[in-house]
Protein backbone atom coordinates (compact mmCIF):
# COMPACT_ATOMS: atom_id res chain seq x y z
CA UNK A 1 0.00 0.00 0.00
CA UNK A 2 1.25 3.47 -0.87
CA UNK A 3 -0.24 6.30 1.18
CA UNK A 4 0.17 9.93 0.21
CA UNK A 5 -1.06 12.64 2.55
CA UNK A 6 -1.29 16.36 1.74
CA UNK A 7 1.61 16.28 -0.72
CA UNK A 8 2.67 19.67 -2.05
CA UNK A 9 5.49 20.57 -4.42
CA UNK A 10 6.42 23.84 -6.05
CA UNK A 11 9.15 24.35 -8.66
CA UNK A 12 9.90 28.08 -8.61
CA UNK A 13 6.51 29.78 -8.83
CA UNK A 14 4.83 26.73 -10.39
CA UNK A 15 2.70 24.65 -8.03
CA UNK A 16 3.20 21.17 -9.51
CA UNK A 17 1.47 19.10 -6.81
CA UNK A 18 -1.24 20.72 -4.75
CA UNK A 19 -2.36 18.99 -1.55
CA UNK A 20 -2.39 15.50 -3.00
CA UNK A 21 -3.97 12.81 -0.84
CA UNK A 22 -4.11 9.29 -2.23
CA UNK A 23 -4.10 5.65 -1.30
CA UNK A 24 -2.71 3.33 -3.93
CA UNK A 25 -3.88 -0.21 -3.22
CA UNK A 26 -1.36 -3.02 -2.89
CA UNK A 27 -1.45 -5.95 -5.28
CA UNK A 28 -3.28 -4.05 -8.03
CA UNK A 29 -2.40 -1.99 -11.05
CA UNK A 30 -3.07 1.73 -10.95
CA UNK A 31 -2.82 3.98 -13.98
CA UNK A 32 -1.93 7.64 -13.53
CA UNK A 33 -3.20 9.83 -16.35
CA UNK A 34 -3.37 13.53 -16.99
CA UNK A 35 -2.30 16.18 -19.46
CA UNK A 36 1.36 17.18 -19.90
CA UNK A 37 2.61 19.03 -16.82
CA UNK A 38 -0.14 17.67 -14.58
CA UNK A 39 2.42 16.29 -12.11
CA UNK A 40 2.52 12.56 -13.01
CA UNK A 41 6.31 12.26 -13.24
CA UNK A 42 6.79 14.52 -10.19
CA UNK A 43 4.48 12.24 -8.19
CA UNK A 44 6.49 9.19 -9.28
CA UNK A 45 9.77 10.92 -8.43
CA UNK A 46 8.42 11.65 -4.95
CA UNK A 47 7.72 7.95 -4.45
CA UNK A 48 11.31 7.16 -5.40
CA UNK A 49 12.78 9.89 -3.20
CA UNK A 50 14.23 11.70 -6.23
CA UNK A 51 12.21 14.79 -5.37
CA UNK A 52 11.66 16.09 -1.84
CA UNK A 53 8.17 17.31 -0.91
CA UNK A 54 7.54 20.86 0.32
CA UNK A 55 4.82 19.50 2.58
CA UNK A 56 2.98 16.26 3.22
CA UNK A 57 4.11 12.71 3.75
CA UNK A 58 4.42 9.47 1.83
CA UNK A 59 4.43 5.94 3.16
CA UNK A 60 5.40 2.93 1.07
CA UNK A 61 4.47 -0.41 2.68
CA UNK A 62 4.33 1.31 6.06
CA UNK A 63 7.74 2.97 5.67
CA UNK A 64 7.63 6.74 6.03
CA UNK A 65 9.87 8.22 3.35
CA UNK A 66 12.02 10.70 5.13
CA UNK A 67 15.48 10.29 3.65
CA UNK A 68 15.22 6.48 3.92
CA UNK A 69 16.39 4.46 0.94
CA UNK A 70 16.21 0.77 1.86
CA UNK A 71 12.50 0.66 0.88
CA UNK A 72 13.63 1.11 -2.73
CA UNK A 73 14.87 -2.49 -2.63
CA UNK A 74 11.23 -3.44 -3.18
CA UNK A 75 10.73 -1.06 -6.11
CA UNK A 76 11.50 -1.58 -9.77
CA UNK A 77 11.53 1.71 -11.68
CA UNK A 78 11.43 2.16 -15.40
CA UNK A 79 12.06 5.81 -16.36
CA UNK A 80 10.40 7.73 -19.18
CA UNK A 81 13.50 8.06 -21.36
CA UNK A 82 16.23 5.64 -20.36
CA UNK A 83 19.68 7.29 -20.54
CA UNK A 84 22.79 5.58 -19.23
CA UNK A 85 26.55 6.21 -19.16
CA UNK A 86 27.48 6.15 -22.82
CA UNK A 87 30.68 4.14 -22.60
CA UNK A 88 29.23 1.44 -20.38
CA UNK A 89 28.28 -1.86 -22.01
CA UNK A 90 24.84 -3.36 -21.42
CA UNK A 91 26.39 -6.30 -19.53
CA UNK A 92 28.37 -3.89 -17.32
CA UNK A 93 25.27 -1.82 -16.60
CA UNK A 94 23.36 -4.92 -15.46
CA UNK A 95 26.29 -6.09 -13.30
CA UNK A 96 26.65 -2.58 -11.86
CA UNK A 97 22.99 -2.43 -10.77
CA UNK A 98 23.27 -5.96 -9.32
CA UNK A 99 26.25 -4.78 -7.25
CA UNK A 100 24.43 -1.63 -6.19
CA UNK A 101 21.39 -3.56 -4.97
CA UNK A 102 23.52 -6.31 -3.47
CA UNK A 103 21.03 -8.94 -4.52
CA UNK A 104 20.82 -11.64 -7.13
CA UNK A 105 18.42 -11.05 -10.02
CA UNK A 106 15.52 -13.49 -10.38
CA UNK A 107 14.52 -13.04 -14.01
CA UNK A 108 17.72 -11.82 -15.68
CA UNK A 109 18.14 -14.58 -18.28
CA UNK A 110 14.41 -14.81 -18.95
CA UNK A 111 14.15 -11.07 -19.65
CA UNK A 112 17.31 -10.98 -21.78
CA UNK A 113 15.75 -13.70 -23.94
CA UNK A 114 12.32 -12.03 -23.96
CA UNK A 115 13.70 -8.70 -25.21
CA UNK A 116 16.31 -10.39 -27.43
CA UNK A 117 19.14 -8.51 -25.76
CA UNK A 118 21.72 -11.32 -26.11
CA UNK A 119 23.44 -9.70 -29.09
CA UNK A 120 23.48 -6.27 -27.44
CA UNK A 121 25.18 -7.28 -24.19
CA UNK A 122 28.72 -6.37 -25.22
CA UNK A 123 27.77 -3.14 -27.01
CA UNK A 124 28.32 0.27 -25.41
CA UNK A 125 25.06 1.98 -24.53
CA UNK A 126 25.82 4.94 -26.81
CA UNK A 127 25.38 2.82 -29.96
CA UNK A 128 21.99 1.42 -28.93
CA UNK A 129 18.71 2.73 -30.33
CA UNK A 130 16.21 4.42 -28.00
CA UNK A 131 14.03 1.30 -28.09
CA UNK A 132 16.89 -1.01 -27.12
CA UNK A 133 17.83 1.30 -24.23
CA UNK A 134 14.19 1.15 -23.17
CA UNK A 135 14.40 -2.66 -23.19
CA UNK A 136 17.51 -2.47 -21.01
CA UNK A 137 15.53 -0.18 -18.68
CA UNK A 138 12.70 -2.73 -18.54
CA UNK A 139 15.20 -5.46 -17.74
CA UNK A 140 16.69 -3.43 -14.87
CA UNK A 141 13.24 -2.65 -13.45
CA UNK A 142 11.88 -6.19 -13.63
CA UNK A 143 14.80 -8.54 -13.07
CA UNK A 144 14.88 -8.35 -9.25
CA UNK A 145 11.21 -9.37 -8.97
CA UNK A 146 10.32 -6.28 -6.86
CA UNK A 147 7.00 -6.01 -4.99
CA UNK A 148 6.24 -2.60 -6.52
CA UNK A 149 6.70 -1.66 -10.17
CA UNK A 150 6.77 2.00 -11.12
CA UNK A 151 6.59 2.42 -14.87
CA UNK A 152 6.81 5.90 -16.41
CA UNK A 153 5.60 5.71 -20.02
CA UNK A 154 7.23 2.29 -20.35
CA UNK A 155 6.29 1.41 -23.92
CA UNK A 156 7.39 4.72 -25.48
CA UNK A 157 10.04 3.74 -28.03
CA UNK A 158 9.40 0.00 -27.88
CA UNK A 159 8.60 -1.80 -31.13
CA UNK A 160 5.12 -3.44 -31.31
CA UNK A 161 6.44 -6.92 -30.56
CA UNK A 162 8.50 -5.84 -27.55
CA UNK A 163 5.63 -3.65 -26.35
CA UNK A 164 3.26 -6.65 -26.53
CA UNK A 165 5.72 -8.90 -24.68
CA UNK A 166 6.32 -6.24 -22.06
CA UNK A 167 2.59 -5.85 -21.43
CA UNK A 168 2.19 -9.63 -21.17
CA UNK A 169 4.92 -9.64 -18.54
CA UNK A 170 3.22 -6.85 -16.61
CA UNK A 171 -0.10 -8.74 -16.70
CA UNK A 172 1.69 -11.78 -15.32
CA UNK A 173 3.22 -9.68 -12.55
CA UNK A 174 -0.20 -8.25 -11.76
CA UNK A 175 -1.61 -11.75 -11.44
CA UNK A 176 1.26 -12.54 -9.08
CA UNK A 177 0.00 -9.81 -6.77
CA UNK A 178 2.47 -7.03 -7.55
CA UNK A 179 1.60 -3.40 -6.97
CA UNK A 180 1.94 -1.64 -10.31
CA UNK A 181 1.93 2.08 -10.91
CA UNK A 182 1.84 3.10 -14.54
CA UNK A 183 1.80 6.44 -16.33
CA UNK A 184 1.20 6.72 -20.03
CA UNK A 185 -0.57 8.86 -22.59
CA UNK A 186 -1.77 5.70 -24.38
CA UNK A 187 -5.19 5.21 -22.82
CA UNK A 188 -5.65 1.73 -24.32
CA UNK A 189 -2.64 0.63 -22.27
CA UNK A 190 -4.28 1.84 -19.08
CA UNK A 191 -7.49 0.05 -20.09
CA UNK A 192 -5.53 -3.10 -20.74
CA UNK A 193 -3.33 -3.10 -17.66
CA UNK A 194 -4.83 -1.01 -14.85
CA UNK A 195 -7.70 -1.69 -12.43
CA UNK A 196 -7.56 1.68 -10.74
CA UNK A 197 -7.23 5.12 -12.18
CA UNK A 198 -5.83 8.39 -10.90
CA UNK A 199 -6.59 11.42 -13.02
CA UNK A 200 -4.31 14.34 -12.23
CA UNK A 201 -5.05 17.84 -13.46
CA UNK A 202 -2.84 20.77 -12.50
CA UNK A 203 -1.34 18.88 -9.59
CA UNK A 204 -4.66 17.88 -8.07
CA UNK A 205 -6.55 14.60 -8.04
CA UNK A 206 -9.55 14.91 -10.30
CA UNK A 207 -10.56 11.26 -10.04
CA UNK A 208 -9.36 8.35 -7.97
CA UNK A 209 -11.13 5.01 -8.09
CA UNK A 210 -11.94 2.06 -10.28
CA UNK A 211 -11.36 2.61 -13.95
CA UNK A 212 -14.65 0.96 -14.96
CA UNK A 213 -16.59 3.29 -12.65
CA UNK A 214 -14.88 6.32 -14.18
CA UNK A 215 -15.85 5.29 -17.72
CA UNK A 216 -19.42 4.52 -16.64
CA UNK A 217 -19.92 7.74 -14.70
CA UNK A 218 -18.85 9.73 -17.73
CA UNK A 219 -21.22 7.79 -19.99
CA UNK A 220 -18.46 6.79 -22.37
CA UNK A 221 -17.47 3.51 -23.96
CA UNK A 222 -13.71 3.98 -23.70
CA UNK A 223 -11.31 5.52 -21.23
CA UNK A 224 -9.91 7.92 -23.81
CA UNK A 225 -13.34 9.49 -24.34
CA UNK A 226 -13.99 9.78 -20.60
CA UNK A 227 -10.63 11.40 -19.90
CA UNK A 228 -11.05 13.77 -22.86
CA UNK A 229 -14.49 14.77 -21.56
CA UNK A 230 -13.13 15.67 -18.13
CA UNK A 231 -10.18 17.59 -19.58
CA UNK A 232 -12.54 19.47 -21.87
CA UNK A 233 -14.65 20.48 -18.86
CA UNK A 234 -11.57 21.62 -16.98
CA UNK A 235 -10.29 23.75 -19.87
CA UNK A 236 -13.69 25.44 -20.23
CA UNK B 1 31.49 0.26 0.02
CA UNK B 2 28.89 1.18 -2.60
CA UNK B 3 30.77 4.45 -3.16
CA UNK B 4 33.83 2.41 -4.13
CA UNK B 5 31.77 0.39 -6.61
CA UNK B 6 30.58 3.65 -8.19
CA UNK B 7 34.17 4.95 -8.28
CA UNK B 8 35.38 1.80 -10.04
CA UNK B 9 32.62 1.99 -12.67
CA UNK B 10 33.11 5.72 -13.21
CA UNK B 11 36.83 5.08 -13.48
CA UNK B 12 36.30 2.52 -16.23
CA UNK B 13 33.82 4.80 -17.98
CA UNK B 14 36.12 7.85 -17.88
CA UNK B 15 39.13 5.92 -19.12
CA UNK B 16 37.18 4.84 -22.17
CA UNK B 17 36.59 8.51 -22.78
CA UNK B 18 39.40 9.69 -25.02
CA UNK B 19 39.19 13.11 -23.43
CA UNK B 20 40.91 11.97 -20.24
CA UNK B 21 43.68 10.24 -22.15
CA UNK B 22 44.08 13.48 -24.12
CA UNK B 23 44.41 15.39 -20.83
CA UNK B 24 47.22 13.06 -19.70
CA UNK B 25 48.88 13.29 -23.13
CA UNK B 26 48.89 17.10 -23.00
CA UNK B 27 50.87 16.95 -19.75
CA UNK B 28 53.17 14.30 -21.18
CA UNK B 29 53.97 16.35 -24.30
CA UNK B 30 54.28 19.62 -22.31
CA UNK B 31 56.57 18.16 -19.66
CA UNK B 32 58.70 16.37 -22.24
CA UNK B 33 59.03 19.59 -24.26
CA UNK B 34 59.87 21.64 -21.13
CA UNK B 35 62.59 19.18 -20.17
CA UNK B 36 64.07 19.09 -23.69
CA UNK B 37 63.80 22.77 -24.59
CA UNK B 38 63.26 24.59 -21.30
CA UNK B 39 66.60 24.14 -19.61
CA UNK B 40 65.95 20.72 -18.06
CA UNK B 41 65.93 19.77 -14.38
CA UNK B 42 64.47 22.11 -11.76
CA UNK B 43 63.75 24.83 -14.37
CA UNK B 44 61.49 22.46 -16.30
CA UNK B 45 59.70 21.40 -13.11
CA UNK B 46 59.18 25.05 -12.13
CA UNK B 47 57.73 25.81 -15.58
CA UNK B 48 55.50 22.74 -15.27
CA UNK B 49 54.33 24.02 -11.86
CA UNK B 50 53.33 27.36 -13.37
CA UNK B 51 51.35 25.62 -16.11
CA UNK B 52 49.77 23.35 -13.51
CA UNK B 53 48.63 26.34 -11.41
CA UNK B 54 46.52 27.58 -14.33
CA UNK B 55 45.59 24.43 -16.19
CA UNK B 56 44.61 22.02 -13.38
CA UNK B 57 42.00 24.38 -11.81
CA UNK B 58 40.50 25.21 -15.23
CA UNK B 59 40.15 21.59 -16.37
CA UNK B 60 38.91 20.40 -12.95
CA UNK B 61 36.28 23.15 -12.79
CA UNK B 62 34.96 22.60 -16.30
CA UNK B 63 34.98 18.84 -15.99
CA UNK B 64 33.35 19.04 -12.53
CA UNK B 65 30.42 21.05 -13.91
CA UNK B 66 30.02 19.09 -17.15
CA UNK B 67 30.35 15.74 -15.44
CA UNK B 68 27.36 16.45 -13.20
CA UNK B 69 25.26 17.63 -16.12
CA UNK B 70 26.16 14.55 -18.17
CA UNK B 71 25.45 12.20 -15.24
CA UNK B 72 21.92 13.45 -14.59
CA UNK B 73 20.06 10.36 -15.85
CA UNK B 74 22.65 8.08 -14.33
CA UNK B 75 22.17 9.80 -10.96
CA UNK B 76 18.40 9.33 -11.30
CA UNK B 77 18.86 5.65 -12.10
CA UNK B 78 21.11 5.13 -9.09
CA UNK B 79 18.88 7.09 -6.73
CA UNK B 80 16.02 4.76 -7.69
CA UNK B 81 18.09 1.93 -6.16
CA UNK B 82 18.54 1.26 -2.44
CA UNK B 83 21.45 3.65 -2.22
CA UNK B 84 21.97 6.67 0.03
CA UNK B 85 22.81 10.03 -1.48
CA UNK B 86 26.01 10.37 0.53
CA UNK B 87 27.52 7.22 -1.02
CA UNK B 88 26.44 8.32 -4.48
CA UNK B 89 28.00 11.77 -4.04
CA UNK B 90 31.22 10.23 -2.70
CA UNK B 91 31.24 7.85 -5.67
CA UNK B 92 30.75 10.65 -8.19
CA UNK B 93 33.36 12.89 -6.55
CA UNK B 94 35.92 10.12 -6.21
CA UNK B 95 35.05 8.79 -9.65
CA UNK B 96 36.12 12.09 -11.19
CA UNK B 97 38.92 13.35 -8.93
CA UNK B 98 40.87 10.08 -8.89
CA UNK B 99 41.11 9.65 -12.71
CA UNK B 100 41.78 13.40 -13.18
CA UNK B 101 44.56 13.41 -10.58
CA UNK B 102 46.01 10.22 -11.97
CA UNK B 103 45.98 11.60 -15.52
CA UNK B 104 47.97 14.61 -14.29
CA UNK B 105 50.45 12.55 -12.24
CA UNK B 106 51.02 9.95 -14.98
CA UNK B 107 51.09 12.50 -17.84
CA UNK B 108 53.52 14.87 -16.12
CA UNK B 109 55.35 12.19 -14.16
CA UNK B 110 56.40 9.88 -16.98
CA UNK B 111 58.79 12.36 -18.69
CA UNK B 112 60.24 13.32 -15.27
CA UNK B 113 60.85 9.62 -14.66
CA UNK B 114 62.31 8.54 -18.02
CA UNK B 115 64.57 11.61 -18.31
CA UNK B 116 65.76 11.23 -14.71
CA UNK B 117 64.67 14.79 -13.77
CA UNK B 118 63.00 13.50 -10.62
CA UNK B 119 66.45 12.40 -9.37
CA UNK B 120 68.06 15.76 -10.28
CA UNK B 121 65.39 17.83 -8.57
CA UNK B 122 64.85 15.47 -5.69
CA UNK B 123 61.84 13.30 -4.90
CA UNK B 124 60.55 15.78 -2.26
CA UNK B 125 60.22 18.62 -4.77
CA UNK B 126 58.48 16.43 -7.37
CA UNK B 127 56.15 15.05 -4.67
CA UNK B 128 55.30 18.61 -3.52
CA UNK B 129 54.41 19.72 -7.07
CA UNK B 130 52.28 16.61 -7.65
CA UNK B 131 50.71 16.93 -4.21
CA UNK B 132 49.70 20.52 -4.98
CA UNK B 133 48.35 19.44 -8.38
CA UNK B 134 46.23 16.74 -6.77
CA UNK B 135 45.01 19.20 -4.11
CA UNK B 136 44.00 21.68 -6.84
CA UNK B 137 42.13 18.89 -8.69
CA UNK B 138 40.23 17.99 -5.51
CA UNK B 139 39.43 21.64 -4.72
CA UNK B 140 38.24 22.65 -8.18
CA UNK B 141 36.24 19.50 -8.91
CA UNK B 142 34.46 20.29 -5.61
CA UNK B 143 33.86 23.89 -6.70
CA UNK B 144 32.71 22.64 -10.13
CA UNK B 145 30.24 20.27 -8.44
CA UNK B 146 28.97 23.21 -6.37
CA UNK B 147 28.22 25.30 -9.46
CA UNK B 148 26.80 22.26 -11.25
CA UNK B 149 24.40 21.51 -8.39
CA UNK B 150 23.47 25.14 -7.76
CA UNK B 151 22.60 25.67 -11.43
CA UNK B 152 21.54 22.12 -12.26
CA UNK B 153 18.79 23.21 -14.65
CA UNK B 154 20.63 26.24 -16.00
CA UNK B 155 23.70 24.72 -17.62
CA UNK B 156 24.94 27.88 -19.30
CA UNK B 157 24.81 29.73 -15.98
CA UNK B 158 26.66 26.94 -14.14
CA UNK B 159 29.32 26.73 -16.83
CA UNK B 160 29.62 30.53 -16.97
CA UNK B 161 30.07 30.90 -13.20
CA UNK B 162 32.71 28.18 -13.23
CA UNK B 163 34.69 29.99 -15.94
CA UNK B 164 34.35 33.38 -14.25
CA UNK B 165 35.49 31.97 -10.90
CA UNK B 166 38.57 30.48 -12.57
CA UNK B 167 39.33 33.78 -14.30
CA UNK B 168 38.96 35.60 -10.99
CA UNK B 169 41.09 33.24 -8.89
CA UNK B 170 43.77 32.47 -11.49
CA UNK B 171 44.17 35.87 -13.15
CA UNK B 172 42.27 38.82 -11.64
CA UNK B 173 42.88 38.08 -7.96
CA UNK B 174 46.63 38.72 -8.13
CA UNK B 175 46.01 41.95 -10.04
CA UNK B 176 43.61 43.12 -7.35
CA UNK B 177 46.07 42.21 -4.60
CA UNK B 178 48.81 44.11 -6.44
CA UNK B 179 46.52 47.12 -6.77
CA UNK B 180 45.81 46.94 -3.05
CA UNK B 181 49.52 46.78 -2.23
CA UNK B 182 50.40 49.75 -4.43
CA UNK B 183 47.42 51.82 -3.20
CA UNK B 184 48.19 51.25 0.47
CA UNK B 185 51.96 51.00 0.18
CA UNK B 186 52.36 53.44 3.06
CA UNK B 187 50.69 51.00 5.47
CA UNK B 188 51.96 47.73 6.94
CA UNK B 189 50.18 45.09 4.82
CA UNK B 190 52.01 41.93 5.87
CA UNK B 191 49.11 40.31 7.72
CA UNK B 192 46.57 41.39 5.12
CA UNK B 193 48.74 39.89 2.34
CA UNK B 194 48.98 36.59 4.17
CA UNK B 195 45.24 36.65 4.84
CA UNK B 196 44.46 37.35 1.19
CA UNK B 197 46.76 34.59 -0.02
CA UNK B 198 45.00 31.89 2.01
CA UNK B 199 41.66 32.99 0.57
CA UNK B 200 42.75 31.86 -2.88
CA UNK B 201 43.75 28.19 -3.26
CA UNK B 202 45.73 28.91 -6.42
CA UNK B 203 47.78 31.50 -4.50
CA UNK B 204 48.31 29.02 -1.68
CA UNK B 205 49.60 26.45 -4.16
CA UNK B 206 51.77 29.12 -5.83
CA UNK B 207 53.34 30.00 -2.47
CA UNK B 208 54.02 26.30 -1.92
CA UNK B 209 55.86 26.18 -5.27
CA UNK B 210 57.83 29.38 -4.49
CA UNK B 211 58.98 28.04 -1.15
CA UNK B 212 59.78 24.58 -2.49
CA UNK B 213 61.97 26.03 -5.27
CA UNK B 214 63.37 28.66 -2.92
CA UNK B 215 62.61 31.47 -5.37
CA UNK B 216 60.47 33.67 -3.13
CA UNK B 217 63.28 36.24 -3.19
CA UNK B 218 62.32 36.92 -6.82
CA UNK B 219 59.11 38.45 -5.50
CA UNK B 220 60.98 41.02 -3.45
CA UNK B 221 59.25 42.32 -0.33
CA UNK B 222 56.12 40.14 -0.80
CA UNK B 223 58.28 37.07 -1.27
CA UNK B 224 60.17 37.87 1.90
CA UNK B 225 56.89 38.18 3.82
CA UNK B 226 55.66 34.85 2.49
CA UNK B 227 59.01 33.22 3.09
CA UNK B 228 59.10 34.41 6.68
CA UNK B 229 55.57 33.34 7.48
CA UNK B 230 54.94 30.22 5.38
CA UNK B 231 58.55 29.05 5.77
CA UNK B 232 58.00 28.72 9.51
CA UNK B 233 56.48 25.59 11.04
CA UNK B 234 53.34 27.51 12.08
CA UNK B 235 53.01 29.02 8.61
CA UNK B 236 53.36 25.61 7.01
CA UNK B 237 50.66 24.14 9.28
CA UNK B 238 48.34 27.09 8.56
CA UNK B 239 48.90 26.81 4.78
CA UNK B 240 48.30 23.07 4.84
CA UNK B 241 45.19 23.47 6.99
CA UNK B 242 43.84 26.11 4.59
CA UNK B 243 44.40 23.77 1.63
CA UNK B 244 42.60 20.98 3.49
CA UNK B 245 39.76 23.40 4.26
CA UNK B 246 39.65 24.40 0.61
CA UNK B 247 39.23 20.73 -0.30
CA UNK B 248 36.72 19.96 2.47
CA UNK B 249 34.40 22.98 2.36
CA UNK B 250 33.30 22.82 -1.33
CA UNK B 251 32.93 19.01 -1.11
CA UNK B 252 30.91 19.27 2.12
CA UNK B 253 28.74 22.09 0.74
CA UNK B 254 28.29 20.09 -2.47
CA UNK B 255 27.15 17.07 -0.46
CA UNK B 256 24.62 19.26 1.38
CA UNK B 257 23.23 20.56 -1.90
CA UNK B 258 23.20 17.05 -3.37
CA UNK B 259 21.26 15.75 -0.34
CA UNK B 260 18.56 18.39 -0.78
CA UNK B 261 18.47 18.35 -4.59
CA UNK B 262 15.38 17.42 -6.59
CA UNK B 263 16.34 15.21 -9.53
Condensed to tens digits (0 to 9), the pLDDT of residues B158-192 reads: 999 999 999 999 989 888 888 887 888 788 777 88
Which residue blocks in chain A are alpha helix, DSSP H?
40-48, 90-101, 108-114, 130-142, 160-175, 187-193, 211-217, 223-235
Query: Would you say residue B222 has pLDDT above 70?
Result: no
For residue B122, what pLDDT is reported? 83
Q: Taking CB atoms and an 8 Å limit, are B73 and A84 in contact across chains?
A: yes
Query: Would you say residue B220 has pLDDT above 90?
Result: no
For residue B17, what pLDDT is reported? 77
ipTM of this model? 0.85
Residues of B in contact with A52 (CB under 8 A): 260, 262
Q: How far from the centroid of its chain's Cα atoms is residue B7's Cα?
A: 19
Domain A2-235 superfamily per CATH: P-loop containing nucleotide triphosphate hydrolases (3.40.50.300)
Burial of B49 (0-12, 13-18, 19+ CB in 10 A): buried
C-beta atoms surrounding B118 within 10 Å: 18
Residues of B in contact with A11 (CB under 8 A): 262
Query: Would you say residue B216 has pLDDT above 90?
Result: no
Q: Taking CB atoms and an 8 Å limit, are A45 and B12 in contact across chains?
A: no
Query: Would you say residue B14 has pLDDT above 90?
Result: no
Q: In terms of residue numbers, what domain contains B253?
A: 2-260
For residue B162, what pLDDT is reported? 94
Going by their DSSP bridges, the two strands A179-183 and A29-33 should be labelled as parallel
Considering Cα of B242, then B246, then B251, then B254, what sign does the dihedral take?
Answer: positive
Give CA–CA dist B155/B65, Å, rounded: 9
Query: Would you say residue B223 has pLDDT above 80?
Result: no
Which residue positions in chain A have pLDDT lower than 50?
A: none
For residue B120, what pLDDT is reported? 81
Assess contact for B64 and B148: CB atoms under 8 A. yes
Give CA–CA dist B9/B43, Å, rounded: 39
Give CA–CA dist A197/A182, Å, rounded: 10
Percentage above 70 pLDDT, chain B: 96
For residue A148, what pLDDT is reported? 94
The mean predicted confidence, pLDDT, of chain B is: 88
Q: Which residues contact A106 (CB under 8 A, 6 or more apart)?
A: A143, A144, A145
pLDDT band at B255 (very low <50, low <70, confident <90, very high): very high
Residues of A in contact with B80 (CB under 8 A): 48, 50, 72, 75, 77, 79
Instruction: Tell me which H or E stretch contains B148.
Output: helix B123-150
For A83, which of B5, B16, B73 is closest by C-beta distance? Answer: B73
Give CA–CA dist B46/B39, Å, rounded: 11
DSSP B202-220: HHHHHHHHHHHTT-GGGGH
- Give the start-to-end residue ranges of the domains of chain A: 2-235
Query: Would you say residue B207 has pLDDT above 90?
Result: no
For B82, which of A51, A69, A96 is closest by C-beta distance? Answer: A69
Distance from CA of A48 to the nearest CA of B (A): 6
Query: Would you say residue B245 has pLDDT above 70?
Result: yes
Residues of A in contact with B88 (CB under 8 A): none
Dihedral angle over CA of B8, B150, B175, B26, nearest 10? 30
For residue A209, what pLDDT is reported? 92
B13 and A CB contact within 8 Å: yes
For residue A235, what pLDDT is reported? 74
| CA angle (A127, A128, A129) in 5-degree steps | 125
Amino acid sequence: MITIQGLRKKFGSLQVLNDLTLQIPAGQATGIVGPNGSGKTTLIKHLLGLVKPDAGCIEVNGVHLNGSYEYRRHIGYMPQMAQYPENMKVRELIDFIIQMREEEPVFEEELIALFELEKEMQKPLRVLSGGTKQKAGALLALMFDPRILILDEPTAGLDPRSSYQFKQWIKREKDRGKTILLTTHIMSEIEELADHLILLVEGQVRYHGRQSDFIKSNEEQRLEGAVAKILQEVSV
Amino acid sequence: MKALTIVSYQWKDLFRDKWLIGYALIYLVLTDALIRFGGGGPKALLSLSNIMLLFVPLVSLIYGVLYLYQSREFVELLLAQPLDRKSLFAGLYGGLTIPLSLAFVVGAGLPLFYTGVWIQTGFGTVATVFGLGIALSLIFVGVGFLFGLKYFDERVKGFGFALVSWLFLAVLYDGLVLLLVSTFSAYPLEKAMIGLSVLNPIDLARIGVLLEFDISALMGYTGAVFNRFFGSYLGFVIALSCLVLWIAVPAWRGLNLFNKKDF
